Amino acid sequence: MRNLLIHADASPAMAERTETALAIGRRLGAHLSFLICSPFQQFIASDPFGGMYLAREQLAAAQLADAELETRLAAQLAREDVPWDIAIADGDTLASLSLAATLADLAIVSLGPRDRRGLAQPTLAGDLAMTVPAPVLALPAEGPPLDLDAPVMILWNGSPQAAHALRAAAPLMAGAGTVTMVQVGPDEGRVPAEDALCYLSRHGIHGELRRLDRGALTPEEILEQTAKELAPGLIVMGAYGRPRLRETLFGGVTRYLLEAAPAPLLLAH
């Protein structure tokens, strides 16, 4: 995991993204690539008669803001001990990040800010996980940076997607205090949990398996209770394809976690 892609913007959550990237970069010797996305099309407006025009003042203001963000970020990174670069893309945020992630080992984004119900907007993180071959690390907007030494919780159902997420997360789990694989109900795939734990052990990561019965609770309620008990610093989960957009592992569990994640999520398709 030597090439990290980080979504850069001026939101308050940028600080946690940067600190997370720096922590991973130092631990794994990775290069950090920050991408500032400023969609050009948002400055094209239309009039009631079907005409189109460019909102030049708004575009100039946005370009100035991007340049200022780049300058601030470069000044901060110049004081750090990891290699980095910064680029500005004028395309759609999802498309720009997807293209840049083609040769990335990990893409780091934030979940959206929470609304009055306490739910985050999951669109970017969920869609990016379905779009790119690289794993996506999605940080709660109001949460702390990723703690590489905290416990890890792996959601397991025996699917190739879950196995891909586990392989992708292995470098991030090397220093974890504990690693717990959680399986709700019977195996739904062809990869036994015991084989997954054996794979991790060969990487020096020794985890335990916790099989939980569904009972009268929903999978979301079971995982919420388990997460409160384990207090993970990272949750690892697989992602299915676009026909079941953002419905991974146990159906609505992924949407629940993207909206109300108690910890950073490692998503992989």
Is pLDDT at 71 greater than 50 in this prediction?
Answer: yes
**pLDDT band at residue 10 using 50, 70 and 90 as cut-offs:** very high
Angle at 109 between CA 8 and CA 29, to 5 degrees: 80
Chain segment 152-198, per-residue pLDDT in tens: 999 998 988 899 999 999 999 999 999 999 998 776 678 899 999 99
Residue 255: pLDDT band with limits 50, 70, 90? confident
Is the model's pLDDT at 240 over the cut of 70?
A: no
- Return the HEC string of 8-43: ECCCCCHHHHHHHHHHHHHHHCCEEEEEEECCHHHH
- Mean pLDDT for 38-53 is 59
Confidence at residue 221, expressed as pLDDT on a 0 to 100 scale? 86
DSSP for 70-118, please give it: HHHHHHHHTTSSS-EEEEEE-S-HHHHHHHHGGG-SEEEEEPPPB-TTS
Identify which of 64-68, 168-172, 238-242 has the greatest average pLDDT.
168-172
Which of 7-11, 211-215, 265-269 has the lowest average pLDDT? 211-215
High-pLDDT (> 70) share of the chain, %: 84
List domains and CATH numbers for the chain: 3-139 (3.40.50.620), 152-268 (3.40.50.620)
Give the tens place of pLDDT for each residue, 225-236.
Answer: 999 999 999 999
Helix (H), strand (E) at residue 129:
helix 123-131
pLDDT at 249: 43
Quote the mean pLDDT of the chain. 86
Those residues whose C-beta lies under 8 Å from the C-beta of residue 60, and which sit 6 or more positions away, are none
pLDDT bracket for residue 116 (50, 70, 90):
low
pLDDT tens digit string along 80-103?
999 999 999 988 899 999 999 999
CA distance 240 to 160: 9
Position with higher pLDDT, 151 vs 117? 151
Q: Which residues fall within 8 angstroms of residue 244, CB to CB, at 6 or more apart? A: none
Q: Could you tell me which of 57, 17, 53 has the C-alpha nearest to residue 36? A: 17
Q: What is the pLDDT of residues 22-45, one digit of tens each?
A: 999 999 999 999 999 986 655 555
Reduced to 3 states (helix: H, G, I; strand: E, B; else coil), residue 209 is strand
Alpha carbons 196 and 54: distance in angstroms, whole number: 54
